[in-house]
Structure 1
Amino acid sequence: MSQSVFAPWDDPNEKPLIRFQNVTKRFGEFVAIDDLTLDIYAQEFFALLGPSGCGKTTMMRMLAGFESVTEGKIELAGQDIGPVPPNERAVNMMFQSYALFPHLSVWENIAFGLKRDRKSKAEIEARVDEMLKLVRLEKFARRKPHQISGGQRQRVALARSLAKAPKLLLLDEPLGALDKKLRQDTQFELMDIQETTGTTFVIVTHDQEEAMTVASRVAVMDEGRIIQVATPAAIYEYPNSVYVADFIGDVNIIEAEARPSGEDEYSLNWIEGQAPIKATSQKTFSDGQKVHLAIRPEKIRISTEKPDDADNAMQGKVLDIAYLGNLSTYHVELPTGQIIKAQTANTRRIARRDITWEDPVWISWSATAGVLLEH
Structure 2
Amino acid sequence: MKPAVKPAAVFAPWEDENETPLIRFDGVTKRFGDFTAIDNVDLSIHRKEFYALLGPSGCGKTTLMRMLAGFEAPSEGTITIGGQDMKGIPPNRREVNMMFQSYALFPHLSVWDNIAFGLRRSDMPKDQIGERVKEMLRLTRLEQFARRKPHQISGGQRQRVALARALAKAPKLLLLDEPLGALDAKLRQDTQFELMDIQEKTETTFVIVTHDQEEAMTVASRVAVMDNGKVIQVDTPPRIYENPKSVYVADFIGDVNLIEGRATLKDAGLASLTWAEGAPEIIATAGEGLVNGAKATFAVRPEKVAISAERPDDRNNVVHGRIHDIAYLGNLSTYHVEIAGGQIIKAQTANNRRLSRRSFTWEDEVWLSWTDTAGLVLAG
TM value normalised by structure 1:
0.98
Question: Is structure 2 residue 254 aligned with structure 1 residue 255?
Answer: no
The reply on whether 1:156 has 2:156 as its aligned counterpart is no
- Counterparts of residues 45-60 of structure 1 (less than 5 Å): 45-60=50-65
Give the total of aligned pairs. 375
Q: Do 2:156 and 2:183's aligned partners in 1 also have CA atoms closer than 8 Å?
A: yes
CA distance in 2, matches of 1:344, 1:209: 20
Instruction: Indicate the residue corresponding to 1:34 in structure 2.
Output: 39
Picking from 286, 298, 312, the partner of 2:317 is: 312
Please state if 1:18 is matched with 2:9: no
SS at match of 1:188: helix
Deviation for aligned residue 1:85: 1.1
Per-residue CA deviation, residues 239-271 of structure 1 (Å, 9 max, x unaligned), is 000000000000001111122344433332100
Q: Please, which of 40, 61, 70 is the counterpart of residue 75 of structure 2? A: 70
Gaps of 5+ in 1: none
Which residue of the partner structure matches residue 106 of structure 2? 101
Superposed counterparts of 1:316-335, under 5 Å = 316-335=321-340
Give the aligned residue type for 2:18.
N
What does residue 85 of structure 1 align with? Answer: 90
User: Partner letter of residue 170 of structure 1?
Assistant: L
The alignment partner of 2:357 has SS state of coil
1:365 equivalent among 360, 370, 373: 370
Task: Give the letter aligned to residue 346 of structure 2.
Answer: K
Q: Deviations over 1:183-207 (max 9, x none)?
A: 0000000000000000000000000
Query: Equivalent residue of 1:159, what SS?
Result: helix
- CA deviation string 1:127-176 (max 9, x = no partner): 00000000000000000000000100000000000000000000000000
Alignment of 1:177-326 (within 5 A): 177-281=182-286, 283=288, 285-326=290-331
Check 1:227–1:337 CA distance in 2 against 1; reply closer, same or farther (3 A cut).
same
- SS class of match (1:336): helix
Q: Per-residue deviation at 1:351? A: 3.7
Whole-angstrom CA distance in 1 between matches of 2:266 and 2:109: 70
Take 1:120 and 1:265, find their aligned partners in 2: how far apart are those partners?
64
In 2, are the aligned partners of 1:264 and 1:284 still within 8 Å (CA)? no
Cα deviation, residue 44, structure 1: 0.2
Shift of 1:280: 3.1
Residue 4 (structure 1) aligns with: 9
Select which of 337, 346, 351 maps to 2:342.
Answer: 337
CA distance in structure 2 between the aligned counterparts of 1:73 and 1:286, rounded to whole angstroms:
36
The alpha carbon displacement at 1:283 in A equals 4.4
Q: Cα offset for 1:348?
A: 3.5
1:305 Cα deviation from its structure 2 partner: 0.9
| Separation in structure 1 between the aligned mates of residue 173 and residue 378 of structure 2, nearest angstrom | 35
RMSD: 1.2
Question: What is the letter of the counterpart of residue 285 of structure 1?
Answer: L
Give the 3 Å change call, closer, same or farther, for CA 35–344 of structure 1 in structure 2: same
The structural deviation recorded for 1:274 is 1.0
Structure 1 outlier segments of 4+, above 3 Å: 260-263, 282-286, 348-351
Q: Secondary structure at the match of 2:278?
A: coil
Please give the per-residue CA displacement for 1:201-227, whole angstroms capped at 9, x wherever unaligned.
000000000000000000000011000
Letter in 2 for 1:368: T
- In 2, are the aligned partners of 1:257 and 1:289 still within 8 Å (CA)? yes
Q: CA deviation at 1:282?
A: 6.5
1:173 aligns with 2:193: no
Name structure 2 gaps, 5 residues minimum: 1-5
Is the partner of 1:358 in helix, strand or coil? coil
Q: Does the 8 Å CA contact 1:94/1:174 hold for their aligned counterparts? A: yes
Q: What's the CA shift for 1:345?
A: 1.5
Q: Quote the Cα distance in structure 2 between the aligned partners of 1:370 and 1:189.
A: 34
Aligned to 2:150: 145
Partners of 2:265 and 2:60 in 1: CA distance: 39
CA distance in 2: counterparts of 1:87 and 1:262, whole angstroms: 57
Question: What is the CA–CA distance in structure 2 between the aligned matches of 1:118 and 1:239, rounded to whole Å?
Answer: 47
Query: What is the SS of the residue equivalent to 2:73?
Result: coil
Pairwise CA distance, 1:88: 1.0
Amino acid at match of 1:181: K
For residue 67 of structure 2, give the secondary structure of its aligned residue in structure 1.
helix
Identity of aligned residues (%): 69
- CA drift of 1:291 comes to 0.9
Q: Over residues 76-135 of structure 1, what are the superposed CA-to-partner deviations in whole Å (9 max), with x where a residue is unaligned?
A: 000001121110100000000000000000000000000011433321000000000000
Q: Distance in 2 between matches of 1:267 and 1:27?
A: 44
TM-score under structure 2 length normalisation: 0.96
CA distance in 2, matches of 1:32, 1:286: 32
Match of 2:352 in 1: 347
Q: Does the 8 Å contact 1:218/1:232 carry over to 2?
A: yes
